[in-house]
């Protein structure tokens, strides 16, 4: 056994040493006891190297170090080998017992910081290497994929979500949600106007976020309109929904079929009342309804519906409202109908519309 002046690292890397520590036999114990007798200066390195080897990860379930030491100490203390030959005396004694025989009280408590540093580095390297090859691959969290559906001005669309819910998007609107609704809720972010037919699910509520307003449902049908002016209108057809403001906690209410909430982001006002279903749902039937609608809102509706840009000239009457019902009509026919009551002239140049009010 040519291991003169072995360092801690040398012992740990030595196959024979590891076999003695992990699988002690009478022959191995005798060989290493003889080595220790010849090289007493190595006892501290051997003791540290043993700790490192014992703490290396293993695939097998084994007794921990304390249990192993305790078991061998009991065997060593309770058996009397005084009359046996030396080979027999070494028989079931482990490395711990052998090392402890030649460790003085002084050496037990002597701290060699350089040795400990080396030992720690070796242990870390071995542990990382073994863990790399033996540990099962850690499952990665599923990647969250966001889906976005949008409609251009002048175009409407219908989208069926992964849970079976159907979303009908008005022109110039969009929804965004996590694919397959990962988590405990089904959350959709809406910009514009959409009608929702929500698939029933008592476990995962369906939540629509529109600016700072959220509408929560289990299985129901409702319409949400979010205008560019910040006004949000939520109209319930079937089921029940909870409506609340993220910014103003006291703004929380529940809707039953036929009820509607109108609000403005940041809680400027919160008004609850009834609504006419044919008016709210007219856009699904290709119908535009103006019901004492302020002119700026009417202009926004027409721009969205037909995908055009409308410019107002000489407009001074801020109280002007429009009324009328137009199903499947062209923009020209609608402007013709409105121009008589609102007293304006218009010009159509492709996607550019100019409305000039009479003085």
Query: What's the pLDDT tens digit per position in 310-323?
Result: 999 988 888 889 99
DSSP-derived secondary structure letter, 140? P
Residue intervals of the chain classified under CATH 3.55.50.30 are: 286-357
Report the C-alpha gap between 19 and 17 in whole angstroms.
5
DSSP-derived secondary structure letter, 265? T
pLDDT tens digits for range 219-239: 799 999 987 777 899 999 999
Region label for 5, one of left (φ > 0), alpha (ψ between -120 and 50) or beta (otherwise):
left
pLDDT band for position 120 (50/70/90)?
low
Q: Which of 52, 49, 39 is nearest to 2 (CA)?
A: 39
pLDDT band for position 341 (50/70/90)?
confident
DSSP-assigned letters across all residues of 45-112: HHHHHHHHHHTS--SS----HHHHHHHHHHHHHH---TTS-HHHHTTT--HHHHHHHT--HHHHT---
Report the C-alpha gap between 359 and 347 in whole angstroms.
17
pLDDT tens digits for range 189-225: 999 999 999 999 888 999 999 988 999 997 799 999 9
- β-strands 352-357, 309-313 pairing: parallel
Q: Which residue has the higher pLDDT, 53 or 260?
A: 260
Residue 250 pLDDT: 77
- Residue 60 above 80 pLDDT? no
Q: Which of 57, 43, 58, 55 is nearest to 11 (CA)?
A: 43
Q: Which of 230, 185, 235, 188 is nearest to 209 (CA)?
A: 188
Which residues have C-beta within 8 Å of that of residue 145, sequence separation ≥ 6? 178, 179
Element (H, E) at 258: none
Report the C-alpha gap between 36 and 39 in whole angstroms.
5
Across 86-95, 203-212, 270-279, least confident range: 86-95
Residue intervals of the chain classified under CATH 2.60.120.1440 are: 146-280
First-residue to last-residue Cα distance in the chain: 114
Contact present, 171 and 307 (Cβ < 8 Å): yes
The helix/strand/coil state of 359 is coil
- Residue 334 above 90 pLDDT? yes
Q: How is residue 112 written in tokens?
A: 């060699």
Contact present, 255 and 261 (Cβ < 8 Å): yes
Report the C-alpha gap between 223 and 234 in whole angstroms.
6
- Residue range 274-293: average pLDDT? 92
**Fold (topology level) of 286-357:** Phage tail protein beta-alpha-beta fold (3.55.50)
Contact present, 98 and 36 (Cβ < 8 Å): yes
Domain 146-280 belongs in CATH node 2.60.120.1440: yes
Bridge partners, residue 209, by sequence: 189, 214
Residue 90 pLDDT: 43
Residue 79 pLDDT: 44
- Residue 105 above 80 pLDDT? no
- Record the pTM: 0.58
Bridge partners, residue 260, by sequence: 235, 273
Residue 265 pLDDT: 61
**Mean pLDDT estimate for the chain:** 80
């Amino acid at each position: 056994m040519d291991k003169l002046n072995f360092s801690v690292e040398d012992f740990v890397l030595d196959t024979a040493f590891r076999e003695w520590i992990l699988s002690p036999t009478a022959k191995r114990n005798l060989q290493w006891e003889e080595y220790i007798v010849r090289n007493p200066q190595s006892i501290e390195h051997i003791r540290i190297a043993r700790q490192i080897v014992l703490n290396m990860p293993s695939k097998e379930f084994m007794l921990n170090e304390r249990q192993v030491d305790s078991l061998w100490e009991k065997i060593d203390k309770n058996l009397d080998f005084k009359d046996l030959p030396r080979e027999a005396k070494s028989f079931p004694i482990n490395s711990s017992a052998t090392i402890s025989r030649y460790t003085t009280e002084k050496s037990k408590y002597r701290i060699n910081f350089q040795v400990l540093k080396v030992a720690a580095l070796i242990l870390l390297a071995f542990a990382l290497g073994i863990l790399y090859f033996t540990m099962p691959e850690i499952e990665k969290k599923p990647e969250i994929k966001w889906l976005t559906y949008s409609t251009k001005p002048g175009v409407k669309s219908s989208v069926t979500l992964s849970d079976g819910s159907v979303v009908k998007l008005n022109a110039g609107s969009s929804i965004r949600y996590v694919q397959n609704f990962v988590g405990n809720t089904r959350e959709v972010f809406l910009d514009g106007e959409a009608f929702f037919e929500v698939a029933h699910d008592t476990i995962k509520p369906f939540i629509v976020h529109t600016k700072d307003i959220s509408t929560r449902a289990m299985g129901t049908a409702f319409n949400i309109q979010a205008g560019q002016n910040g006004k949000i209108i939520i109209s319930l057809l079937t089921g029940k929904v909870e409506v609340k403001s993220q910014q103003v906690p006291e703004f929380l209410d529940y809707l039953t079929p036929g009820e509607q909430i109108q609000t403005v982001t940041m809680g400027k006002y919160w008004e609850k009342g009834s609504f006419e279903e044919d008016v709210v749902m007219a856009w699904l039937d290709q119908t535009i309804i103006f019901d004492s609608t302020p002119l700026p809102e009417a202009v926004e509706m027409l721009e969205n519906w037909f995908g055009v840009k409308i410019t107002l000239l000489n407009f001074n009457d801020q109280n002007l409202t429009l009324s009328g019902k137009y199903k499947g009509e062209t923009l020209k026919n609608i402007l013709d109908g409105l121009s008589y009551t609102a007293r304006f002239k218009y010009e159509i140049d492709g996607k550019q519309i100019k409305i000039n009010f009479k003085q």
